[in-house]
Amino acid sequence: MSELDTTGPALGSPALSGHALSRSALSGSALSDEATTTLREISQRVLWLSAAIVDAANRGRPNTSGVKVGGHQSSSASMVDIMVALWFHELTSEDRVSVKPHASPVLHAINYLLGDLDEKYLPTLRAKGGLQSYPSRLKDPDTVDFSTGSVGIGATAALWAAISHRYVRSQFADAPPAGRFISLLGDAELDEGAIWEAVADPQVAHLGELLWVVDLNRQSLDRVVPDIQIARLQGMFEAAGWQVVTLKWGRLISELFDRPGGAELRRRLEDMPNEEYQRMLRVDSSEVAGRIMGEGGSAQLRALLEEVPSVQLAAAVRDLGGHDLGLLVDTFRALDTTRPTVVFAYTVKGRGLPTEGHPNNHSALLTEAQMQALADASGTSLEEPWLAFEPGTAEGELCRDRGAALRRTPVASPAAVAVPTSLGHPHRKPASTQAALGRLLADLKHDAPEAAARVVTCSPDVASSTNLGGWINKTGVWSVQDRRDWFADDRERVLKWSEVSNGQHIELGIAEVNLVGLLGELGATWSRWGERLIPIATLYDPFVSRALEPWSYGIYSGGQSILVGTPSGVTLAPEGGAHQSITTPSIGLEQPGCVAWEPAFGQDLEWCFLHAMSQVGVPSGTSAYFRLSTRPIDPALARLPEEPTLLERRRRQAIAGGYRVTSHDLASEQVTLVGVGAMMPEVLAAAELLESEGVTAGVVCLTSPDLVFRSWQQRSSRAPGAGGGIVEDLFPSSHPAPLVTVLDGHPHTLSFLAGVRGDRTRCLGVTEFGQSSGLEDAYALHGIDTGSIADAALTLLGR
């Protein structure tokens, strides 16, 4: 099947898979001839403005560095008509739209015409303080609903936002309503696996407010795509329960299809390979008929082609569904809103530009002469590129009216939610930090109900193995609609899997990308709808790397959340190398907009986690990453002070990044052992072993190497008020000593500590893949056991 093929009714109207949308469904067009003409004029001006924004960034600014500024005039051009149909006719102020990254100039051009962007920003694409290279929700000066710089990830954001809004409405009766959640994506983005992981999630089939429009220009960055297999894509969406609409031909060429010889014309065009079709777009209009006839063709087809003027014929073969404004408006109006919809809109990359259809037009820039020709065709000029429509004209009035209709009321700040600093329950029995998290969440419902009401947990089918069972039993599993619990009467069941529309745990399939995509949008509800959530997701720590890009994207977009990686490291010894994380401690330290934590003891976990919760879902808040373990550790090893004032001091140190476990005189300290997380028993045992050898070893327990690193950076800066902070408390400059650092992860994570005082340092950790073994064997294999720690200390001391 060629990529110009479709299924369903005549190609002049949309084709629905599994649900026929006939011409009668589109009868009585929403647009009069005057309205269509007005939209076409606006579309031409948007085309000009989007091209001019890129042109100004490249030809209009001095460039002393020699580094290309760039931009995407052709990728923008293919989206212009789709976006004009939406913004100038279809959208409401409650709709939220994700725009494909390479069409950002179109979004800014539209926002300018609607009065949502000051003219001074139009020449500032990719400049400091100006328009971002791709749509950015936090960094652009105009309305941007979703950041979409990461191809494929931004497209799914609207889907997760739809689920997040449904969740908010299920929990809080006064939460504001929302309209459609729309993604505008390029066809090449459908190559991204994240797209299909999201589409296949079972809950998505119930999201009737979800609309995706695929800009089917059949080009990627490097080439004309030889075979896009539209039928396969249609089938994949249809199998997932989506309504599938295909807009292939516009109404102009469809009229030719109805004439004698028209069926053969249509067949010929649809049999053309992509490359042949797009090459035809590059020839003079006088050659188009010959290109269509090729080496064959009937006399009837020849007669049809001869009766159509060459200029009109050249326009007709460009008349694809994604450029027919009336057809687009009618299609958007007629969609079934009881299930998600994907519209495949055929377009020409570079539509209306001299670069249209060229296989290398992705980043091509128009010359000054080409820009002048486009200005002439658009009723504007190079000298005054930012002309808007005059008030009183049909175009000016429509821009004014649509700007007013789409204007949004500012989102109110979320109500304050008190998150306690401690739950006050003693930690007496040996427990893992993973188990401590499960206990904390289960207790939260009773001890801090206001905060618990804002918590939503998520997991990719590992909820029970990451200790969320107690929380789930108390809150239930959230579902788009209530489902019957067939095991409710099973007395042997430990985990009560009750799926209800007001539950507080969302379970996804084994797809970490989906997990963090949803997490980011749950973490943005405070700024989208004024309702604060504290989203917490658990996954196996080795898979943090798999989820990192979309989670980082969510943070960049303003989503605040808590990601829990557990179990972690080679401490999960019998599982072997496949489930042992090595680089995640460093990843957490390096992730912007996030604080990484790895507490060792249950009490530390409680303090740090509650503190992290208090920072989520608030202005200037931050995300958090917790690396937890399944190794039970005796809480007595933490040597918690009993006196309340000293206990509170320990808590403050723990949430600042770490504390000293030992209490000897610092002047007598010969070596300092620094441990993180599950390694603390070995670190403390090594200190005792050294003590038996006459060596006084101080012990530092880091709860967050990330915060300690920041403290060191701040101390080294010239910023006003920069001080020592926690790094000075842990490593006082007046008492230097050699350091041995130990963690169940890559040792370079703590190597920065050598620069704090210039101490001689030995960093112990994991640098090789693990293997199945017992815990003691695993630690010895990687040189992080008690003996190896003590040996490293003695070596530093020259013994």
pLDDT at residue 722 in the model: 47
- Beta strands (DSSP E) in 501-644 are 505-507, 534-539, 562-565, 594-597, 623-627
Contact predicate 671/797, CB 8 Å:
yes
pLDDT at residue 15 in the model: 32
> Which of 218-222, 577-581, 595-599 has the lowest average pLDDT?
218-222
Q: Band the pLDDT of 30: cuts 50, 70, 90.
A: confident
Contact predicate 475/497, CB 8 Å:
no
275: pLDDT strictly greater than 90: no
Distance CA 706, CA 725 (A): 13
440: pLDDT strictly greater than 80: yes
Mean pLDDT for the stretch of residues 382-393: 95
DSSP result, 525-546: HHHHTS---EEEEEE-GGGHHH
Contact predicate 783/679, CB 8 Å:
no
pLDDT at residue 13 in the model: 31
pLDDT at residue 717 in the model: 64
pLDDT at residue 276 in the model: 86
**Mind spelling out the 3-state secondary structure of 403-418?**
HHHHCCCCCCCCCCCC
Sign of CA dihedral 554, 560, 566, 569: positive
Mean model confidence pLDDT for the chain: 90
pLDDT at residue 498 in the model: 79
309: pLDDT strictly greater than 90: yes
Distance CA 63, CA 140 (A): 22
pLDDT at residue 464 in the model: 81
pLDDT at residue 573 in the model: 85
Distance CA 332, CA 335 (A): 6
Mean pLDDT for the stretch of residues 116-131: 96
Mean pLDDT for the stretch of residues 203-217: 93
> Which of 85-89, 223-227, 704-708, 769-773 has the lowest average pLDDT?
223-227
% residues pLDDT > 70 (the chain): 93
Contact predicate 608/615, CB 8 Å:
no
Q: Band the pLDDT of 636: cuts 50, 70, 90.
A: very high
Token pair recorded at residue 648: 């509170």
Beta strands 96-99 and 181-186, pairing class: parallel
Mean pLDDT for the stretch of residues 376-398: 95
DSSP result, 275-332: HHHHHHTTS-GGGHHHHHHTT---HHHHHHHHHS-HHHHHHHHT-BGGG-HHHHHHHH
pLDDT at residue 720 in the model: 53
26: pLDDT strictly greater than 90: no
**Among 703, 763, 699, which Cα is nearest to 731's?**
699
pLDDT at residue 92 in the model: 97
pLDDT at residue 262 in the model: 95
H/E stretch holding 469 reads helix 469-475
Which SS3 state, helix, strand or coil, does residue 726 take?
Answer: helix
Distance CA 421, CA 610 (A): 6
pLDDT at residue 11 in the model: 26
Which tens digits make up the pLDDT trace of 769-781?
989 999 999 999 9
Its pTM stands at 0.91
pLDDT at residue 343 in the model: 97
Q: Band the pLDDT of 21: cuts 50, 70, 90.
A: very low
> Which of 72-76, 345-349, 752-756, 784-788 has the lowest average pLDDT?
72-76
Mean pLDDT for the stretch of residues 709-738: 82
476: pLDDT strictly greater than 50: yes
Distance CA 180, CA 198 (A): 17
**Among 140, 136, 164, which Cα is nearest to 532's?**
164
18: pLDDT strictly greater than 50: no
pLDDT at residue 478 in the model: 87
Task: Report which of residues 355 and 706 the model is more confident about.
Answer: 706
Which tens digits make up the pLDDT trace of 350-364?
898 988 877 776 777
pLDDT at residue 702 in the model: 98
Q: Band the pLDDT of 7: cuts 50, 70, 90.
A: very low
595: pLDDT strictly greater than 50: yes
Q: Band the pLDDT of 225: cuts 50, 70, 90.
A: low
Mean pLDDT for the stretch of residues 235-245: 95
Q: Band the pLDDT of 718: cuts 50, 70, 90.
A: low
3-state helix, strand, coil in the chain (%, to 5): 45, 10, 45
DSSP result, 103-116: GHHHHHHHHHHTT-
Q: In what order do the strands lie in the sheet with 181-186?
A: 15-17, 243-247, 341-346, 210-216, 181-186, 96-99
